[in-house]
Chain A
Amino acid sequence: KNEVEQSPQNLTAQEGEFITINCSYSVGISALHWLQQHPGGGIVSLFMLSSGKKKHGRLIATINIQEKHSSLHITASHPRDSAVYICAVGSRNNDMRFGAGTRLTVKP
């Protein structure tokens, strides 16, 4: 079993839909990151969470430390949101463990 599990693996939505991507982890963490990766490889950090909830524009990230679970929500999705979204956990040993990613396609 991977230390970081994401679901779903692939997600197709219509423009405007509300999207949720889930992440569960099994290791002790110091922080959880949501990353966005576009074709070509560049990775952008969207959020870093250690508790609670963060919001940035149409993106919302939540984390439940007790349940070892985090969600990334996208409201009013848009085709430009199409990307791979990766959950990563920063362990107390300073390395990071990544989920396999969720490939999101938003259709106009």
Chain B
Amino acid sequence: DTGVSQDPRHKITKRGQNVTFRCDPISEHNRLYWYRQTLGQGPEFLTYFQNEAQLEKSRLLSDRFSAERPKGSFSTLEIQRTEQGDSAMYLCASSPPGQPGNTIYFGEGSWLTVV
């Protein structure tokens, strides 16, 4: 399967712990996106990479959140000192080079529950 893969798919953590999610985009996709989705809502944009450069960050991405894409391939999203409000599904997506708005491919998401 050469789709966007995310790991882990589910994570339960205690408040205050750090968690890290990994996203492997479709190979040769230079654009990678992170979104957060809470129940009953559409996804919200968190951050965007073009190759290894983080080009845009949402105001939603507080200081406790950090995302990296060191080699322009896989990306990690780390949440430090988790809070119950961080409970959500974290979606990764990638798209190929070309004009903005190219077809975008989503991963299955990583569910985070903070207890």
Contacts and interface: CB of A to CB of B under 8 A. Distances in A.
A30 B100 contact: yes
A94 B109 contact: no
Interface residues of B, number: 29
Interface of B is mostly: strand
A86 B42 contact: yes
Interface of A: 4, 29-31, 33, 35, 40-45, 48, 50, 86, 88, 90-101
B33 interface: yes
A52 to B, nearest CB: 15
Given A41-B109, A42-B108, A94-B48, A101 B42 contact: yes
Given A30-B99, A41-B89, A86 B48 contact: no
Contacts of A41: 37, 89, 91, 108-109, 111
Contact of A95 (B33, B42, B99, B105): B33
Nearest to B91: A43
Contact of A96 (B37, B99, B104): B104
